[in-house]
Chains A and B, each alone.
Chain A
Amino acid sequence: MAAQTKSHESMSSRLAEFRLIPRIETDPWTVSFAQTTLGKAAMLAAFGGGILVFIRDPLSWLAFVLGVTLITFLPARRRLILAVAPILLVVLQTFQKPLLLGLNLAVIAFGIFLYWCAIRWPKSLFGQRPVAFLLGGFSALILLACATAPYSLAYPILWDLVGLMASYLWFIAYAVSDRNSQPARDLTMELASFHPVWGSSNTPFPKGAAYLRRIEAQNPEQQAIVQLKGLKLLLWAILLAVFQVFWNQFFHGYLRIPLPDQALAMSVRGTPASWHLCWECQILAFFESILTLSIFGHRIIASCRMAGYNALRNTYRPLSATTLIEFFNRFYYYFKELLVDFYFYPAFFRYWKKHRRLRMAFATFAAAGFGNAFYHFTRDWQIIRDDGLWTAIRNYQTFLFYCIVLAAALSLSQMRRRGPMPVGFVRGHFLPALGVGIFYCLLNVFVTNERGYSLAEHLRYLASLFFIKF
């Protein structure tokens, strides 16, 4: 009997330790080999081949792999290479459009100037609230562009500037907020973190220069470990990308389950899909959003790790989240960090200090409500340019509703007093995770690419999932 129990234990421990991709970064021989010239060359070859899945343009691929190769063999010059590379890329991509190139370099210079001002005058009005000034100034720039006559000379220049500022906004925000970190004065790192070579969305991956300094490999062994982790993550991203191709072919090609935008459009046209198809489409969309974001984030973080920075994954086991706030943290980590750093903490430290619950709810609404809405509204600046400010605001009602519901739900999730987790898999993990999944499945109804449909139409579609018609 004892032998049987022992065998069960050994099997479950072996299962728990099973990894689809082995933990090569913990193997001493592999780590030693990765520090040799041959080992580095082998890693770079594997990485260069793997990243081809995601970077198809030969020039971009060559530039990127060359950069990583230089960093791998000249780690002491890592920061310099990373600082110069994004500027070189900007020059290479825009040298045929002098105006765009000039504006691009001007925006980078402006960001560095603001960073310098925040460091130089920390007690000034700007030095105390640099991000608020930055976001206020950017909003004023959008208003100015909206007020400019469409056929004037200033119109295209101003909108180009809005577009460039929108893409650099949060990178500059991290730079100007670096004044609190130690050591703050490192211009090379600030430049390296403005649209870093490993890629990012408008959300900086992985945050700003202060964070990069903390996670940088400090010696050859650390670099080898970080690069091995990067290689593993890239492999995982490739496996997920392959899985996604089969997923799409099976569910949307073979089974013909509509995408959420299609199901909503059918509902708006008065020819709704059957209820079970709508549910299937919402459930699939939930998993697909996780899959897409995982592939996107893993590719970037893998590249960042290859450059010698041990960044946390952007998406990490979101399906294991047992609370709404935990899912938000695990699903899109760096966007959540952006909201927390620039909206949550400033609101939390300044307002309602004597009212614990109100303070928490206010800060959460500032981040997941206002900050989330502001981020997406300004990110999609082309809609403001093409449709006009008021139409853009009116068509934003559905996403605004999404932000308010999300903020309310996250506030409640945070306010619930946390105690020890319930015991057992079903009560402790499965049921809470299922609840979280269902909530986000339904909330995703309000996240569509089509902004032309009203909030009422989205609500009608949501109600139809529960056989309610209005």
Chain B
Amino acid sequence: MKGKAEIREFVQGLLTNYGDDEPLANGDSLLLSGRLQSIDAVEIIMFLEQTFGIDFAQIGFDKELIDSVDAIDATVQTTMNCKKE
């Protein structure tokens, strides 16, 4: 669960930089809804690479994988499980 909290904190930080103080639910769309921009997707990607060692060149990238806090967490969990196997 620590992972999810970290992810949420990071995403909340990106939103705050835009002056976006709207409430954030874990399932809320971030990129496909236009709430965050492509540049923020890059920030999320780099955060996931550095914090969880995820390599999107290996797993294939789709914006839906990082479109919400839940989606990001699911991507992290799936990648971690694959690594363990």
Contact = CB atoms under 8 A, between A and B. Distances in A.
Contacts of A326: 37
Interface in A308-346: 312, 316, 325-326, 329, 336-337, 340, 344-345
Nearest to A349: B57
Nearest to A313: B34
Contact of B42 (A181, A312, A350, A360): A360
Contacts of A74: none
A214 B64 contact: yes
Interface residues of B, number: 21
Nearest to A414: B39
A182 interface: yes
Interface string B16-43: 1111000000000000111001110010
A180 interface: yes
B61 A180 contact: yes
B41 to A, nearest CB: 8
A337 B41 CA distance: 12
B78 to A, nearest CB: 12
A418 interface: yes
A426 interface: no
Contacts of A210: 62
A421 B38 contact: no
Contacts of A214: 32, 64
B60 A421 contact: no
Interface string B32-68: 1110011100100110010000011100111010000
A128 B36 CA distance: 28
Interface string A336-374: 110010001100111001001000100000000000000
A215 interface: yes
B31 to A, nearest CB: 10
Given A418-B17, A420-B16, A325 B32 contact: no
A180 B62 contact: yes
Nearest to A323: B39
A126 B70 CA distance: 32
A98 interface: no
A419 interface: yes
A420 B18 CA distance: 8
B17 A329 contact: no
Contacts of B37: 325-326, 329
B62 A181 contact: yes
A421 B62 contact: no
Contacts of A345: 61
B19 A421 contact: yes
A291 B42 CA distance: 30
A216 to B, nearest CB: 12
A312 B35 CA distance: 11
Nearest to A344: B38
B53 to A, nearest CB: 12
A181 B61 CA distance: 9
Nearest to B29: A214
Contacts of B32: 211, 214-215
Interface in A260-318: 312, 316
A348 B42 contact: yes
A419 B17 contact: yes
Contacts of A419: 17
Given A349-B57, A414-B39, A356 B17 contact: no
Contact of A182 (B38, B56, B64): B64
Contacts of A414: 39, 42
Interface of A: 179-182, 210-211, 214-215, 312, 316, 325-326, 329, 336-337, 340, 344-345, 348-350, 353, 356, 360, 414, 418-421
Given A349-B55, A414-B42, 15 more contacts: A180-B60, A180-B61, A180-B62, A181-B64, A211-B32, A214-B64, A312-B34, A316-B34, A329-B37, A329-B38, A337-B38, A349-B57, A421-B17, A421-B18, A421-B19
30 contacts: A179-B60, A180-B60, A180-B61, A180-B62, A182-B64, A211-B32, A214-B64, A312-B33, A312-B34, A316-B34, A325-B37, A329-B37, A329-B38, A336-B38, A337-B38, A344-B38, A345-B61, A348-B42, A348-B45, A349-B55, A349-B57, A349-B61, A356-B46, A360-B42, A414-B39, A418-B17, A419-B17, A421-B17, A421-B18, A421-B19
The 3 closest A-B pairs by CB, nearest first: A349-B57, A180-B60, A180-B62
